[in-house]
Copies of this chain bind each other. A is one copy, B any other.
Amino acid sequence: MDLGTHPTAATHPGGTILTSPPQDAPVDRATAAARRVVDAMLRTDRGNANLDRVAEELNSIAEHLEQHSPEVAERLIDMWNGEGVTRHDPVTGPENAIAPPLVLEGLADGSVQGVVTLTLPYQGPPGHVHGGVSALLLDHVLGVANAWGGTSGMTAQLSTRYHRPTPLFEPLTISGKFLSKDGRKIHTVGEIKTADGELCVSVEGLFIDKTVPRPR
């Protein structure tokens, strides 16, 4: 991410959207539909939904998309071209069907926050969010919190604590806050709470101020 173009708590008002929300564009609509298929596939009747036919149709769509795909190296350059937030990451990306997607806003107190309801694809224990999915979401939220705090870095260490099982099918509030920077070390925290304000997961992150070069 290019910090020069990123909104920060110092320059932008509370309520600034920090991720790339789904837009009324063909790729966003197609990805949203793929996300819906991923979810419905886990919910549908295993024996009565004509899944052989569904497999054929999905493979036919995949073939079409693949036939229109450039080489991966070329696609990577295009993907990382330009400024601003990514549209393809597995947490907030409206172009990634794996992403819920989470939309995050920057608050005036320097924290970032988003609300998301997770469904069956994200299940770990029965009816609850997979612990690793919570870590995935929080790692990303901490990265966005760093940007809102005016810095950026690669994750060096992530310490995740699980206080109680995190429920599926309920709005969860996920937040993060940049705390401090000592030399190249960036300290950031985050948490996941239920709508009732119960703490499910907390995280402490250590980031190092460096970036992976963009493909070109």
Listed in ascending order, the chain A residues whose CB lies under 8 Å from chain B are 26-27, 29-34, 36-46, 48-52, 54-59, 61-62, 64-66, 68-70, 72, 75-76, 78-80, 88-91, 95-98, 120-128, 130-133, 135-140, 154-162, 165, 169, 211-215
Whether the Cβ atoms of B130 and A136 lie closer than 8 Å is: yes
- Can you offer 29 A-B residue contacts whose CB atoms are under 8 A? A29-B51, A29-B52, A30-B54, A31-B41, A36-B58, A36-B62, A37-B58, A37-B61, A37-B97, A39-B62, A40-B62, A42-B95, A43-B72, A72-B169, A79-B120, A79-B126, A89-B124, A90-B121, A90-B122, A90-B123, A90-B124, A98-B122, A125-B211, A125-B212, A131-B155, A132-B139, A135-B135, A136-B136, A154-B165
Most buried by B among A41, A69, A156: A41
Cross-interface CB contact of A66 among B40, B56, B131, B169, cutoff 8 Å: B40
**Beyond A54-B61, A131-B154, A136-B136, 5 extra complex contacts between A and B, CB < 8 Å:** A34-B38, A41-B65, A42-B95, A127-B212, A132-B136
Report the copy number of this chain in the oligomer: 2
Instruction: Find chain B residues with CB under 8 A from A156 CB.
Output: 161-162
A52-B26, A160-B158 given; A130·B90 CB < 8 A? yes
Instruction: Find chain B residues with CB under 8 A from A40 CB.
Output: 61-62, 65-66, 69
Whether the Cβ atoms of B95 and A98 lie closer than 8 Å is: no
Whether the Cβ atoms of B49 and A64 lie closer than 8 Å is: yes
Complex alpha-carbon distance, A139 and B135, angstroms:
9
Whether the Cβ atoms of B132 and A215 lie closer than 8 Å is: no
Instruction: Find chain B residues with CB under 8 A from A90 CB.
Output: 121-124, 130, 132-133
Whether the Cβ atoms of B58 and A44 lie closer than 8 Å is: no
Cross-interface CB contact of A34 among B41, B66, B95, cutoff 8 Å: B41
Whether the Cβ atoms of A44 and B29 lie closer than 8 Å is: no
